[in-house]
A and B are shown apart, each in its own frame.
Chain A
């Protein structure tokens, strides 16, 4: 699986958009980009994933560059409850025994300020 690079920490004001970048320059054609977050004292939570098109759900938007070497997770209106560690993960979604082999890196600590 391709490795990812994320900034160790970011700050955001409450109510503003939080844009979290991720570099994955060695991503291959069959690898998806996944985002998870982990709020303090809880297990990680799935946010969103995509292959090459931009994706949006009720939690966030995912923008993937055309060359797929980087992506940005956007939380459109950050709240204090969005303070968490955000993980960008690249993985295949193939069948068989390669299901679900996610490799969590260090992630980005996002702190949302009042």
Chain B
């Protein structure tokens, strides 16, 4: 079975802190994705990567950056966390549009 793991299930940070969310997949997928999910807004794509060191902006990249140094690992970075970034963050990997999601990280920024 495909496994996508995320570094934390719950995370609490303070405004202005630098936050790293890590995602690891074990199926050698080239494509990896970061989404955030908010009530009433559904899942929104932040960034995706289709190869090592390659990245593309999704629909809401502002305030975020990403890093993909190895094929299996895709990191989401909040350079200076803000309260509006309190959300559920979901990582996925996949082939074409068949995506496999991790369990999510619920981030609270105080």
List the interface of chain A (C-beta within 8 A of B).
32, 34, 36, 41-46, 49, 89, 91, 93, 96-97, 99-107
Contact = CB atoms under 8 A, between A and B. Distances in A.
17 contacts: A34-B97, A34-B98, A43-B90, A44-B90, A45-B101, A89-B97, A91-B97, A97-B50, A97-B56, A99-B50, A100-B31, A100-B48, A100-B99, A101-B45, A104-B35, A104-B44, A106-B42
B33 A100 contact: yes
Contact of B48 (A32, A44, A101): A101
A74 B37 CA distance: 26
A55 to B, nearest CB: 13
**Interface residue SS majority, chain A:** loop
Contacts of B48: 99-101
A89 B96 CA distance: 13
Interface of B: 4, 31, 33, 35, 42-45, 48, 50, 56, 58-59, 90, 92, 94, 96-104
**Interface residue SS majority, chain B:** strand
Nearest to A34: B97
Contacts of B103: 42-43
Contacts of B31: 99-100
Contacts of A104: 35, 42-44
Contacts of B33: 100
Contact of B101 (A43, A96, A97, A101): A43
Question: Most B CB atoms within 10 A — which of A43, A97, A101?
Answer: A43
Nearest to A100: B31
Given A43-B103, A43-B104, A100-B33, A93 B97 contact: yes
B98 A46 contact: yes
Nearest to B92: A43
Contact of A44 (B43, B45, B58, B59): B43
A43 B106 CA distance: 12
A91 B90 CA distance: 20
